[in-house]
């Protein structure tokens, strides 16, 4: 219980009264400044990203080689226009799908005909590309399309396009039967100057023909006219036939990679440039391409040979006195039951216009038959001849053989038949065979036996002659020596008689002098009688 008597405290011991003051305004701390600045920067970046962000597209590729999400850029003319955001595998595992974000200024690349491909190092027959990506890494290349239709899904190319849409020039279509060594990117030449390249090829539905697309750059595209001829300039063109050895190339590039060449004939009058996508035939070589079109359609004929056709091949020329008037199409073999022998039918393609015939001569069947029969009666025959001694290649020669025996041919068959005659080499072989047969009939063995008998007889005769000579040396030789000595004495006496100082020689000189004086007297008498013939009667008058 408290003490009631306790006195209250003194004023000096009580606490002072609290002082009331007005509350000051609150200020934020500097610590909050950093997250505020970060939020502003992040918001500005978000706004910038949303404003700069272009359309989102997807491109499918066979593999994801070289594609890295968040790193692989999309470039057009070395300018970044997008970025690969993600790469995923398709549901059927056949391809990959790359999601790409394009920039706002690249929205025009989302058209239907835009093409995408992965740029990486590539080694192909047309050359080496993408070496710069060895250091910088792969990226997606773009070829801008010209379509107005917008799409989101694209199919990427496996190889870069040979020609981009911004290239200037024209495309043309070539029809061929064989691709040869051509490939996409193979060069196209005009007079050995590269003016374009092969951009595509495909096999036709019939399975026998090919179509190629070539791109000719400006201003060379105007060189392609309606009369232009295209041919394979691939590799090394080597020909070894009846015409000899031929070598033709365009350039070292075509030797390695192949190529196409074109040119118009020198006498061409076409000057207008051909329209784009005009179709041309692709010939196997320049000679075939530059052949003039035949005025008359070629005619087929069959030549039946009984001799070997080794060395004759399809494409061999048919020659008429140095002018090629056709070529060999095929070579066959046929068994003749009635003769029990084989013959070799050779089908040839003849060009009537090259032989001077006109269209009416060929179109009229009766007229054509009469012409052929007349030529055969005059001795026209087909003969196999050697065109090249080095290679043994044969060709068919048409010529007249007046001494050829009459021939019967069938002109009413599916293909008219022309008469043939054995080749000169075959005739030579036959003659040599006859000579060999005649030589075989010579009795060389009997002749050899007779010769041996004759030699034995001759040996016996020579032995007897040796004995006779020995006998002569023993009996006759001394008498011969005595006769020779007497002959020597006679010659010595004759030499003494004929010597210049011998008496006989002096007497002979005196006799000759007397004869000379006598001849002078006779000459004088003769001259006098010629002047005075009356002296024979009257005598010489006195002076």
For residue range 242-292, list pLDDT tens digits in order. 555 566 555 555 555 678 999 998 888 888 999 999 999 999 888 888 887
Q: 527 pLDDT band (50/70/90 cuts)?
A: confident
Dihedrals phi, psi of 416, to nearest 5 degrees: -65, 145
pLDDT averaged over every residue in the chain = 80
pLDDT value at 506 more than 80:
no
198 and 274 in a common domain: yes
pLDDT in tens, 88-115: 999 898 999 999 999 888 888 889 899 9
DSSP assignment of 503-543 equals: HHHHHHHHHHHHHHHHHHHHHHHHHHHHH-TTHHHH-PPP-
Cβ atoms of residues 258 and 181 within 8 Å: yes
198 and 142 in a common domain: no
Q: Phi-psi category of 279—alpha, beta or left, where left has phi over 0 and alpha has psi -120 to 50? A: beta
Bridge-based pairing of strands 169-176 and 279-283 is parallel
150 and 80 in a common domain: yes
Cβ atoms of residues 437 and 419 within 8 Å: no
426 and 330 in a common domain: yes
Q: Is residue 414 part of a domain?
A: yes
Confidence (pLDDT) at 494? 62
Half-sphere exposure of 126 (CA within 13 A, CB side): 20
Q: Is residue 479 part of a domain?
A: no
* CA gap 196, 190 in Å, rounded: 9
Cβ atoms of residues 101 and 54 within 8 Å: yes
Number of domains in the chain: 4
189 and 112 in a common domain: no
319 and 243 in a common domain: no
Domain that holds residue 211: 169-289
Of 420, 436, 452, the one marking the end of a domain is: 436
pLDDT in tens, 315-333: 899 999 888 889 999 999 9
Sequence-separated (6 or more) residues with CB below 8 Å from residue 217: 167, 168, 169, 195, 196
240 and 218 in a common domain: yes
Q: Is residue 72 part of a domain?
A: yes
Of 419, 436, 453, the one marking the end of a domain is: 436
328 and 246 in a common domain: no
Cβ atoms of residues 380 and 422 within 8 Å: no
Angle at 527 between CA 522 and CA 528, to 5 degrees: 100
266 and 313 in a common domain: no
426 and 303 in a common domain: yes
pLDDT value at 5 more than 70:
no
Q: Is residue 357 part of a domain?
A: yes
Dihedrals phi, psi of 121, to nearest 5 degrees: -60, 130
269 and 144 in a common domain: no
Confidence (pLDDT) at 171? 92
Q: Is residue 451 part of a domain?
A: no
Closest CA to 224 of 282, 281, 264: 264
Mean pLDDT, range 194-220, rounded to an integer: 90
348 and 235 in a common domain: no
pLDDT in tens, 273-287: 999 999 999 998 888
Of 401, 418, 436, the one marking the end of a domain is: 436
């Amino acid at each position: 219980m408290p003490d009631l008597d306790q006195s209250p405290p003194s004023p000096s011991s009580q606490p002072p009264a609290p002082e009331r003051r007005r509350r000051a305004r609150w200020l934020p701390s500097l610590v909050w400044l950093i997250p505020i600045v970060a939020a502003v920067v992040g918001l500005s970046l978000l706004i910038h990203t949303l404003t700069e962000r272009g359309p989102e597209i997807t491109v499918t590729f066979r593999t994801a080689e070289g594609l890295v999400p968040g790193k692989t850029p999309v470039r057009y003319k070395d300018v970044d226009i997008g970025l690969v955001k993600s790469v995923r595998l398709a549901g059927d595992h056949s391809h990959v799908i790359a999601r790409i974000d394009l920039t706002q200024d690249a929205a025009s690349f989302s058209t239907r005909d835009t093409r995408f491909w992965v740029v990486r190092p590539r080694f192909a027959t047309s050359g080496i590309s993408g070496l710069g990506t060895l250091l910088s890494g792969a990226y997606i290349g773009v070829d801008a399309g010209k379509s107005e239709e917008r799409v989101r899904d694209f199919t990427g190319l496996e190889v870069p396009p040979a020609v981009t849409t911004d290239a200037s020039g024209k495309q043309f279509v070539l029809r061929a039967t064989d691709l040869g060594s051509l490939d996409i990117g193979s060069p196209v030449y005009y007079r050995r100057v590269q003016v374009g390249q092969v951009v595509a090829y495909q096999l036709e539905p019939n399975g026998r023909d090919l179509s190629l697309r070539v791109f000719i750059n400006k201003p060379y595209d105007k060189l392609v006219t309606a009369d232009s001829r295209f041919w394979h300039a691939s590799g090394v063109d080597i020909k070894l036939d009846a015409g000899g050895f031929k070598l033709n190339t365009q350039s070292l590039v075509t030797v390695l990679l192949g190529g196409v060449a074109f040119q118009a004939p020198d006498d061409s009058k076409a000057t207008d440039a051909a329209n784009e996508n005009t179709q041309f035939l692709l010939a196997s070589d320049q000679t075939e391409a530059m052949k003039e079109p035949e005025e008359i359609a070629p005619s087929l004929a069959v030549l039946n040979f009984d001799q070997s056709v080794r060395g004759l091949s399809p494409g061999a020329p048919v020659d008429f006195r140095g002018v090629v008037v056709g070529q060999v199409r095929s070579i066959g073999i046929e068994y003749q039951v009635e003769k029990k022998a084989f013959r070799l039918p050779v089908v040839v393609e003849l060009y009537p216009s090259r032989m001077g015939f006109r269209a009416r001569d060929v179109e009229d069947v009766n007229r054509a038959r009469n012409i052929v029969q007349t030529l055969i009666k005059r001795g026209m025959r087909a003969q196999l001849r050697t065109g090249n001694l080095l290679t043994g290649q044969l060709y068919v020669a048409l010529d007249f053989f007046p001494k050829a025996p009459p021939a019967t041919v069938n002109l009413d068959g599916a293909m008219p038949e022309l008469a043939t005659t054995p080749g000169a080499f075959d005739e030579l072989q036959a003659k040599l065979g006859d000579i060999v047969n005649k030589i075989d009939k010579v009795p060389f063995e009997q002749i050899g036996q007779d010769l041996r008998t004759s030699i034995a007889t001759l040996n016996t005769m020579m032995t007897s002659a040796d004995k006779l000579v020995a006998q002569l040396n023993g009996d006759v030789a001394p008498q011969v020596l005595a006769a020779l000595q007497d002959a020597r004495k006679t010659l010595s006496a004759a030499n003494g008689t004929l010597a210049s100082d011998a008496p006989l020689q002096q007497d002979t000189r005196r006799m000759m002098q007397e004869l000379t004086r006598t001849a002078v007297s006779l000459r004088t008498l003769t001259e006098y009688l010629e002047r005075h013939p009356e002296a024979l009667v009257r005598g010489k008058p006195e002076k």
